[in-house]
Amino acid sequence: MAAQKKLIIGNWKMNLNVQEASTYLHKLEAAMKVHRDVTVVITPTMLALQPLSLQINRHKLKLAAQNFHWRDFGAITGEVSATQLRGLVTYALVGHSERRHMFGESTKDTREKVQAALRNHITPVLCIGETKAERTNEETNDVLRDQLVGGLANVTSEEVDQVVIAYEPVWAIGTGNNASPHDVEAAILTIRSQIRHLFGRDKAASVTVLYGGSITADSAADYLALRGVDGLLVGGASLKLHEFTSIIEKAHSAAE
Ligand code: PGA
C-alpha cells in the first residue's frame, strides 16, 4: 500500500519583510525538487501573501496564512478575515501556541476560526499541544482531547478530511527541545483515537496529522517515519534554504 502523501509546512512567523520573502521564495523554487508525494506550503507574513500569490509557482508550493479573524467582515480594526484571504491561500494556521499564549486565543476562538476557514475554502491547520507543566502533571492526553473537541465541535464528518491537525508541544516550539519520537507517537495515537471517537474509524485513519517543534533537517526523518505522522510543521528551520529543502527530500523518501 502506498504511503499517504506527506505535508510539509514552513512557518516563517514574524520574519522576512516583503522583499526578503520574495527573494527567499525565488531561491526556494529554484533549489527544491517537486515530488508528487509531498505537498510543500510556506507561511509568510500577512503582508507578503498578496505579492507572493502572484509570484508563486502553485505546482511547487502553496501559501498559508499564520492567522486571521473568524468573522468574514465588519468593524474589527486591524484584523484580516478568511474571506479576504480566500483565493490567496490554500491553508491557514489556527490556534498556534504563540497565538494561544501571547494573545489569549481561546478554544472557542479556534472553533470559530476552523469554521471560518472551511466556509471560505481554506484548509485550517489546527495546532494543539500541551505545556511543560501539563506534561509534567500527566495532563497531556486531556489537553489534546480538550483542544480537539473544542476546536472541532462544529465540524461535520464530511468536513474533517479538510482539516489538518498539528501536534505541537508548547515546550518544544523554538526551544531546540524537540519531543522524543516515542512521545510524539503516543500523542498522535491519542489524537487519532479522539478523532475516531468524534468522527469514526475511517476518519481517524484518513485525517492528516503533523508534528511540529524544533524540527531540523537532522531530526525530520525520525518523525516522518512514525506511524500516523503525515508531515511536519517547521518553524526556524524553514527559514534556512538548505535545511528546508533537505526536509522536503526527507519527506519524499518517507513517502516512497
Ligand atoms: P520551531 O517552530 O520549528 O521553530 O520550533 C515550530 C512552530 O512554531 O510551528
pTM check: above 0.75: yes
Residue 9 has pLDDT above 70, yes or no: yes
The pLDDT assigned to 2 comes to 43
Confidence class for position 177, pLDDT limits 50, 70, 90: confident
Q: Is 49 helix (H, G, I), strand (E, B) or coil?
A: helix
Rounded to the nearest whole angstrom, what is the distance from the C-alpha of residue 172 to the centroid of ligand 1?
8
The residues that bridge with 40 in the sheet, in sequence order, are: 8
Residue 10 has pLDDT above 50, yes or no: yes
Catalytic residue (choose from 69, 96, 98, 252):
96
Residue 40 belongs to what H/E stretch? strand 38-43
Minimal-distance CA residue to ligand 1 atom 9: 235
The pLDDT assigned to 11 comes to 98
List pocket residues of ligand 1, CB cut-off 6 Å. Answer: 11, 168, 173-174, 212-215, 233-237
Overall average pLDDT of the 121-148 stretch: 97
Query: pLDDT tens digit string along 161-172?
Result: 999 999 999 999
Q: What is the overall mean pLDDT for the chain?
A: 96
* Contact in structure between 63 and 88 (CB atoms under 8 Å): yes
Residue 129 has pLDDT above 70, yes or no: yes
Residue 65 C-alpha cell reads as: 496564512
Query: pLDDT tens digit string along 179-221?
Result: 899 999 999 999 999 999 999 999 999 999 999 999 999 999 9
Residue with cell string 465540524? 155
Establish whether 69 is a catalytic residue: no
Residue 229 has pLDDT above 80, yes or no: yes
Establish whether 96 is a catalytic residue: yes
Catalytic residue (choose from 98, 105, 130, 168):
168
Confidence class for position 3, pLDDT limits 50, 70, 90: low
Minimal-distance CA residue to ligand 1 atom 3: 235
207 burial level (CB within 10 Å; 0-12, 13-18, 19+): buried
Residue 1 has pLDDT above 60, yes or no: no
Overall average pLDDT of the 104-129 stretch: 98
